[in-house]
């Protein structure tokens, strides 16, 4: 009995020591694993924010330089040095499919020549509709849409670059528009109510987003049942080389963030869209070549229209 009791005491001491070690280990391990998870999350958030900040800087400069400074990696520093930049915003837009009547219908400074197509040409807007312009810039497409849906329709432009929103609001005042408003925000987190929009337009913006699945989920959320996407954007026809993908300047210039056409179709379907139609414009090869002289990127990307519908039920 005496021996058994001594052994039990030793056992108890061993057990107590063991438990103490376990407690110390758990106390040390818990914050470490927490920090690890947070660090991993922070790293990816930092990367996404770095991309967004680079895009914001690029278009902040575009907003204050007035014209010809947007898609293309070095436009802000080489204004007037390449054929594309000797053109006016109006002539650039007319080459993308806008009519002269459209380019002269908006206030001076609303068209900065930043698009890569004409979403209004596929939007079939009707009076009374609610329209959302993703990445509305200085307001060019939003103002054209506002005229198409007046008197009772409303257009909301969303852009994450404060300088663009300021410029768009100044242009709104210049043009006396009463049915258009501009909201500062990201297209990945739209400042727009659920099921409130008939048509989403966008011109050369979604390629700039570092989180495209979220953009399409948000677009789906804010559309009414039966609502539509009418988008012009840059898409990839072949995988982009890794050095191009990693180049923030090329990304901000609409050259590096493009997703493959098949991937965009899959993202749209996974967000819930139906009637998905993507129509590449082979003629865009020429102006894309001017954005990135000598990089050969026109072999991998193309301007395209994207259309899709949120089902009624």
Q: Which residues of this chain interact with ligand SAM, rule CB under 6 A?
A: 55, 59, 70-71, 112, 114-115, 135-137, 140-141, 158-161, 164, 186-188, 203-205, 208-209
Residue 141 or 198: the one with the smaller Cβ distance to ligand SAM is 141
Q: What is the dihedral of CA 199, 205, 211, 215, to 10 degrees?
A: -10
Least CB distance to ligand SAM at residue 22 (A): 47
Helix (H) / strand (E) containing 301: strand 301-309
Contact 290, 78 (CB under 8 A): no
Residue 9 or 217: the one with the smaller Cβ distance to ligand SAM is 217
The per-residue DSSP string of 190-202 comes to -SS-TT-EEEEEE
Residue 71 or 154: the one with the smaller Cβ distance to ligand SAM is 71
Token reading at 7: 């052994």
The three-class DSSP label of residue 224 is strand
Residue 10 or 101: the one with the smaller Cβ distance to ligand SAM is 101
Q: How far is CA 33 from CA 29, 38, 39, 47, in A?
A: 6, 9, 10, 21
| Orientation of helix 140-149 relative to helix 162-175, angle to 10° | 40
Contact 139, 172 (CB under 8 A): yes
Q: What is the DSSP letter of 130?
A: E
Residue 154 or 208: the one with the smaller Cβ distance to ligand SAM is 208
* Beta strand pairing call for 274-281 and 301-309: antiparallel
Least CB distance to ligand SAM at residue 155 (A): 13
Least CB distance to ligand SAM at residue 60 (A): 8
Residue 129 or 209: the one with the smaller Cβ distance to ligand SAM is 209
The three-class DSSP label of residue 272 is coil
Least CB distance to ligand SAM at residue 261 (A): 19
Least CB distance to ligand SAM at residue 310 (A): 20
Least CB distance to ligand SAM at residue 225 (A): 25
Residue 137 or 227: the one with the smaller Cβ distance to ligand SAM is 137
Give residue 135's Cα distance to chain centre: 7
The neighbour count for residue 164, using CB atoms within 10 Å, is: 26
Residue 22 or 93: the one with the smaller Cβ distance to ligand SAM is 93
Token reading at 296: 């050969």
Least CB distance to ligand SAM at residue 23 (A): 47
Least CB distance to ligand SAM at residue 181 (A): 15
Picking from 129, 187, 127, 128, the residue whose alpha carbon sits closest to that of residue 157 is 187
Least CB distance to ligand SAM at residue 208 (A): 4
Token reading at 286: 């020429």
Contact 146, 155 (CB under 8 A): yes
Q: What is the dihedral of CA 97, 98, 100, 101, to 10 degrees?
A: 140
Residue 112 or 240: the one with the smaller Cβ distance to ligand SAM is 112
């Amino acid at each position: 009995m005496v021996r058994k009791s001594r052994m039990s005491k030793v056992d108890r001491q061993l057990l107590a020591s063991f438990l103490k070690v376990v407690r110390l280990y758990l106390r040390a391990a818990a914050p470490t694993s927490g920090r690890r998870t947070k660090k991993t999350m922070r790293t990816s958030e930092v990367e996404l924010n770095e991309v967004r900040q680079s895009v914001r800087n690029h278009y902040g400069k575009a907003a204050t330089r007035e014209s010809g400074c947007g898609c293309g990696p070095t436009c802000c520093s080489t204004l007037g040095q390449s054929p594309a930049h000797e053109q006016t915003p109006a002539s650039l837009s007319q080459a993308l499919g806008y009519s002269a009547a459209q380019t002269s219908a908006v206030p001076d400074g609303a068209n900065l020549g930043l698009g890569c197509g004409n979403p209004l040409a596929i939007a079939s807007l009707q009076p009374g509709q609610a329209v959302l312009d993703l990445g509305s810039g200085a307001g060019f497409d939003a103002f054209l849409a506002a005229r198409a849906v007046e008197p009772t329709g409303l257009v909301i432009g969303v852009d994450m670059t404060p300088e663009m929103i300021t410029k768009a609001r100044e242009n709104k005042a210049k043009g006396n528009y009463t049915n258009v408003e501009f909201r500062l925000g990201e297209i990945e987190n739209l400042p727009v109510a659920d099921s409130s929009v008939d048509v989403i337009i966008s011109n050369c913006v979604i390629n700039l987003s570092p989180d495209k699945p979220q953009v399409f989920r948000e677009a789906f959320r804010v559309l009414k049942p039966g609502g539509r996407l009418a988008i012009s954007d840059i898409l990839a026809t072949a995988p982009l080389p890794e050095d191009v993908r990693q180049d923030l300047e090329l990304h901000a210039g609409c050259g590096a963030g493009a997703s493959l056409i098949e991937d965009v179709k899959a993202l749209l379907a996974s967000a819930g869209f139906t009637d998905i139609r993507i129509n590449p414009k082979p003629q865009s090869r020429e102006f894309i070549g001017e954005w990135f002289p000598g990089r050969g990127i026109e072999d991998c990307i193309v301007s395209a229209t994207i259309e899709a519908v949120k089902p009624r039920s």
